[in-house]
Amino acid sequence: MQLNLTLADLPPDDSQWEQLDETTRQAVIDRLTQAIAKVVTGNEPPHRESADE
């Protein structure tokens, strides 16, 4: 599955980013880093089956 990011929907400046506190900014950076690493390496976490499957 390929998702598309519409960059036209983003604000033209950094105002949204500037509103985040440092802890939240670091959390966003960490999650983006993990997502990029998964794409680059092709590693996905193992699928966990729920109890009703």
* pLDDT, tens only, 1-53: 677 777 677 767 778 888 899 999 999 999 999 999 988 888 766 566 666 55
With left for phi above 0 and alpha for psi between -120 and 50, is residue 49 left, alpha or beta? beta
* Annotated domain spans of the chain: 7-43
Q: Which DSSP string corresponds to 26-50?
A: HHHHHHHHHHHHHHHH---PPPPPP
* pLDDT, tens only, 19-28: 899 999 999 9
* pLDDT of 50: 61
Q: Which of 6, 7, 28, 8 is nearest to 17 (CA)?
A: 28
* pLDDT of 45: 60
The whole model's pTM is what? 0.55
- How many other β-carbons are positioned within 10 Å of the β-carbon of residue 50? 5
